[in-house]
Chain A
Amino acid sequence: MILALQSTLEAGHLQALDRSLMIALAPVVILTIAVLVLLLVDYFGRKHPGPQGGISLQNASTITIASTVLALLGTLGTWGWLNTLPNGPSQGLFPSMIPSASAARWDFAPAFVVDHFFLFVCLLVCVVVIITSLNFIPFLQRKERYHAELFPLLLLSAIGMMLITGSRDLITTFMSLELLSLPLYVMCGLNDKNRLNKESSLKYFLMGAFASGFFVFGAALIYGMAGHLNYTVIQNMIAETAQSVDPVMLIGIGLVGVGIAFKLGMVPFHAWVPDVYQGAPTPVTAFMATGVKVAMFAAATRIVLECLPGLQAELWRDALVLFACLSMLVGNLFALHQMSAKRLLAFSAIAHTGYLALGMVSGTPASGSAVLFYLAGYTFASLGAFLLITWMAPDGQDDVFLDQMHELWQKAPKAAICLTILLLSMGGFPLTAGFFGKFVVFKEAWLAGLSSIVIFALLNSAVSFYYYLRFVIAMYMTPAVPGEASLNPRQMPGGYVFSMVMTVGLTIILGVLPQLLLGALDLTNLGS
């Protein structure tokens, strides 16, 4: 072991562990420092132990937003810096010793890689964190309870989301998976007086822990067969035994897949999604629905593109296509008659999981960028919609129902227009980001020869317009019944205005000028 480390140092493999490491991991490092600052200021700010005192909500939110903006700038800086490197646009970090083909020596493969794929997800996560934390303050001010610990949790979860995308080792993936999940379980149960919050927290926790059990056991079986958990080793192992992969290996890959599918909320592992999305405080739902989906899909895409290429295509592809079709079908069918806006978005999230999974099936390097484009479009639309629900919800209720939306057009025309654009983008209406997202993802599936599946997906997105338009029609055309509990359009605070301008603006910009992002995303193709 020591010998190996020495030879590594001599060979220059660990050179990355100096200044350039800090630059490459800038977003993660900045957010980690912010978490420590928040926790320490909160601790030392208390005059006496107890729930009173500590950091104020306003300061915590300012530190969070400032550090995330800094992380965003750092990510942009690293994005340009990667291109100037002599070794090409990806920087492998933390080399781990992996067994090589000849038993006499050991090779090194990075357990973590900083490439444009990782950096793009960092950008998305930073945007999500900024927009959600802008909206926590008005939300929390309406509730009587004090929750400054929310912000370090939010940042910790965001760090997990970033790390899981760059990870090239199943154990690193697992650690980041837990880092992103554990704070979210707590955030769901934000208000410990609200039984819906608590129920959503318990369900999310039990399902998440169950999923990680599957993931870990699958990883253990893969370790047994391959001797290491590095993606390079797994890929080599699969490639060597291409036509007769050991059944234990297949079971291992299957269990890891089940674990990820649970987290993604793919049918048949979707039962927790609607309850958790509906029960959690709406800004937390917004963060969870977008951030977790982005991070988990990015991690799944990396696993598919960097571990599985050697595996007989029909094996995993058929399973993925089956799950994708089931997700679309079940998500759309259950969404048709939802009265609660949060539940509707939860079922539509299940359907979107299906569309996104179609982007991965081709397994070509370009599918990475297709998935990322769809994720960007979905993130902005979903984030905006959840934030509008937060803003509109009547007092004492953290959700909006269909019959409360009547005549929103008269009461708050700007909000109605924003919500219409966001819902249309989710459905995939032309000139919105959702349309081009669906286009690039379906193109990947079509190129993989799945034309009938693409037609099935198109029919599904046609069906999805029914339930999105149901809400739109309610906003514009249905007269309100007098005496009915109706929405409470409050004065829109600055944070909301900014977030709405950002989400709606980006949705439209990506829909009208998709080449802006598609050009940048060419860099994010994962090599296989």
Chain B
Amino acid sequence: MIDMVVNSVWLAGLMFAIGTLGVMIHRHPVIIFMCIELMLNAANLALVAFNRHHFSPAWRTMDGQIYAFLIIVIAAAEVAVGLAIIVALFKHRTRVDIDEINFLKR
């Protein structure tokens, strides 16, 4: 069982790394946003795996899984706000590229 926990945490670490790298190299806001969601889901996976590790049969502790649910809720709220912002920004544009959003640097 320990092996499974360790493997899941490695997988979560990998997902987190992919997400972070994706945020840094991608130029499309929606894809950046998906990478951020990947980072949050990596944390969820790690939490659930660690919950298995910390599970105590006597008390049936589910803290990690409850944390994961809370994070899912927050991620959903972020999607609602984030997609609205992206749509508002690109309502009158055909191309979507964050390198072109640089009015403030001019």
Q: Which residues of A contact B (CB under 8 A)?
A: 1, 4, 97, 99, 103, 106, 171, 174-175, 178, 182, 185-186, 189, 192, 195-196, 198-203, 205-206, 209-210, 212-214, 216-217, 219-221, 223-224, 227-229, 274-275, 278-279
Contacts and interface: CB of A to CB of B under 8 A. Distances in A.
A124 to B, nearest CB: 25
Contact of B89 (A99, A199, A224): A199
Q: Is the interface of A mostly helix, strand, loop or mixed?
A: helix
In the A-B complex, the 7 residue pairs with the smallest Cβ-Cβ separation, listed nearest first, are A213-B39, A224-B50, A220-B46, A216-B43, A220-B43, A217-B43, A198-B89
B63 to A, nearest CB: 6
Given A202-B85, A216-B43, 7 more contacts: A174-B74, A196-B103, A200-B104, A205-B81, A206-B33, A227-B54, A229-B63
8 contacts: A201-B85, A201-B89, A206-B33, A213-B16, A216-B40, A217-B16, A217-B43, A224-B49
Interface in B58-106: 59-61, 63-64, 67, 70-71, 74, 77-78, 81-82, 84-86, 88-89, 98, 101-105
Nearest to A255: B16
B85 to A, nearest CB: 5
A414 B26 CA distance: 49
Interface in B14-33: 16, 19-20, 23, 29, 32-33
Interface of B: 9, 12, 16, 19-20, 23, 29, 32-33, 36, 39-40, 42-44, 46-47, 49-50, 53-54, 56, 59-61, 63-64, 67, 70-71, 74, 77-78, 81-82, 84-86, 88-89, 98, 101-105
Nearest to B51: A223
Nearest to B104: A275
A227 B23 CA distance: 30
B28 to A, nearest CB: 11
A202 B105 contact: no
Nearest to A104: B58
Contacts of B63: 223, 227-229
B42 A196 contact: no
B67 A171 contact: yes
A505 B54 CA distance: 54
